[in-house]
Amino acid sequence: SHLLVYSSAGHPPPVLLHPDGSCELLDQATDPPLGARPEHVPRPQANATYTPGDTLVLYTDGLIERRDEDIDVGLARLTSTLATCTEFGAEHLADALLARLDVASGGNDD
């Protein structure tokens, strides 16, 4: 069915990278981290469709967050970088992101 069903537990939104370089932030089902709210409250879920050739990018906040910068700036930097990486496979994509986002040797994360 080419359907993703997702829920985020306080993590930055996954990105669906399309072969044409466009990116879709999967940010419609966000919630606080696990254990930070009552257990009886159901977690939100959302759906997104994908097509063959799309790449689902999951990452930690250390890839995009910078101490004195709004998170939206980091997300924009990520998606613009991803747009230039459509020809890479998964392993090379991860290496390219680390290098191009200047965190290959680690970053200043909390």
- Whether 23 is in a domain gets the answer yes
Tens digits of residue pLDDT in 40-97: 778 899 999 999 999 999 999 999 998 889 999 999 999 999 999 999 998 899 999 9
**Average pLDDT for residues 6-23, to the nearest whole number?**
94
Q: Is residue 105 part of a domain?
A: no
> Do residues 46 and 70 make contact, with C-beta atoms less than 8 angstroms apart?
no
CATH code, 46:
3.60.40.10
Looking at the structure of the chain, the number of domains it has is: 1
DSSP 95: H
Q: How buried is 83 (Cβ within 10 angstroms: 0-12 exposed, 13-18 middle, 19+ buried)?
A: middle
Q: Residue 110 falls within a domain, yes or no?
A: no
Confidence of residue 109 (pLDDT cuts 50, 70, 90): low
**Would 18 be classed as within a structural domain?**
yes
Any domain includes 109:
no
| CB neighbourhood size of 33 (10 A) | 10
Distance separating alpha carbons of residues 34 and 85, to the nearest angstrom:
32
Domain for residue 26, yes or no? yes
Q: How far apart are the first and last CA of the chain?
A: 39
pTM, to two decimals: 0.87
